[in-house]
Amino acid sequence: MKKEIEDQIIRKFNELIIGSRNRFIEQISDTGYIERKNKLIDTIVRDHINGKRTIGCFYCNGGTKFMVFDIDEVDDVRAPAIITILKRLGIKDYDIHLESSGNKGFHIWLFFDQTLPIKKIVDFGHWVISQLGEYASKIELRPESIKGKGIKLPLGIHKKTKKKTVFLNHNRTKIRDQTKYFLNIKPMPKDDFMKLIDVALTYKDVRTLERLPPESTSKRLTNANEELKDIKIPINQKSSIKKLAMRLITEGISQKDINEGNGRHSLQFYVALHYKDEGYSKDEVIQLVTDWALIQKQNGMAESSEDHIKRDVYKDVTHIFKYDKGIYDSRGRPFELYESDVLYASQFKNASARKIMLALLIWGRIYHKNGVFFIDMRTLEEISGITKKTICKYIYAFDKDGAITILEKGSYGQHKSNEYYISQLVIQDNKINGVEVASINDVFQYTYKLVEHKRAV
């Protein structure tokens, strides 16, 4: 092999795999690997490429630029199953690299453009392996811990079998040009992979959505009827929202609004709803709300740039007119709360799960049609007080658990909300009387107290 090609491969090893150079591992005949305490220099790596030595490297202290599923079994199940799981999580086919180990097994490589925490990688790897059921044995991870064993570099010779390790297509046929394939590998963006890990570990954490100890529905509803019979909720929803919108229009955003976590982004929605409710056209509402929002910026109550504010207002108003949004009950459905809603949200052991489910139920009660409704992540975040990242994790967990069904995923760029189905919304058992609320946030805060009350009983 030409030295120029060897140099390219060494640079690719440095980019994709090699972490610490303070030590390395070397395979000695068929007796296994030993650890070398001297530096891993390019000359040694070059000997590996040329088949003179078979070496491996360690990781970047607590981080790694790759992960490997090391399958010590030549069957038709484990490797294809792991690849399928990874693809279902959203990892692209071309980011999953299959390699024969040179002996009887396979390596499945994933590469990242920045180092990732080893602990996070190990948790993810264990979750993937756990999905294999009876085939979860004879698979190891690399790295398997912060103080791991190291990993053999690709494109080397297995000292026991004298066979070269080679990259394979996913159907396990040999890739013709090994050097070209390896040099063309592009690592995955760290942030993209971390999102996939969060999704996977949410599936793992779905056990945290475990229900309270079983109790018959009729008994729970009977108890709830007694516990909640004297509950009163603030009244006069629509007029309160109108008053809020008029106060924002005439006085602007106050420091109190800011201190309470209500910024221009959320409050402009009420202003837009008010103008729409007054009969203004879409273009007129866009202009009116934009003018109002820019005044808030001049008054020091908004930090976004003018261009950002204009885009944001356009998206909000377009969304309001597209889906005929009104001031909550203006589409003919006053907000109603049922005792089973409180029970449904209170059944989850995790506090974040309870808050997110309650926010879904409150919004769904107003806007659902046969249990189906739309809501975006920003609105869920504002109602529940939970971060978008955590909301996303629990939404997937709820869906897997069967508590909700994700019918369609939305897109922020297109201002399209997620579409959900919750069977609880078609149940109308014991209505809590007098439920007309000052705002969605008010009803959430009050109802969450009921949820926590139910759990304490």
pLDDT score of 325? 61
Half-sphere exposure for 121 (CA within 13 Å, toward CB): 27
Amino acid at 121: I
pLDDT 10s digits, 171-183: 889 999 999 999 9
Q: So where are the chain's domains?
A: 3-203, 211-233+337-456, 238-322
pLDDT score of 2? 87
Residues 68 and 121: their CA atoms lie apart, in Å, by: 10
pLDDT score of 14? 93
CA 225 to chain centre: 37
- DSSP alpha helix (H) spans, 55-189: 78-88, 118-130, 178-183
- Sign of the Cα pseudo-torsion (309, 310, 312, 317, in order): positive
State the Cα torsion 73-75-79-80 to the nearest 10°.
-170
pLDDT score of 92? 92
pLDDT score of 237? 41
Contact by Cβ (8 Å): 361, 422: yes
pLDDT 10s digits, 260-319: 667 787 788 888 888 887 788 999 999 999 999 999 999 988 888 999 899 989 988 887
Which residue bears the tokens 């998206």? 315
Q: Report the SS3 class of residue 159.
A: coil
∠176-182-183 over CA atoms, to 5°?
A: 115
Classify residue 106 by its DSSP letter. Answer: E
pLDDT score of 446? 73
* Best CA proximity match to 451, nearest among 340, 331, 334, 329: 340
Query: Which CATH code is given to the segment(s) 3-203?
Result: 3.90.920.20
Residues 298 and 305: their CA atoms lie apart, in Å, by: 11
- Which ranges of the chain have pLDDT less than 50? 207, 214, 216-218, 220-221, 224-225, 227-239, 328-332, 411-415, 437
What are φ and ψ of residue 60, in 5° steps? -95, 75
Q: What is the total residue count of the chain?
A: 457
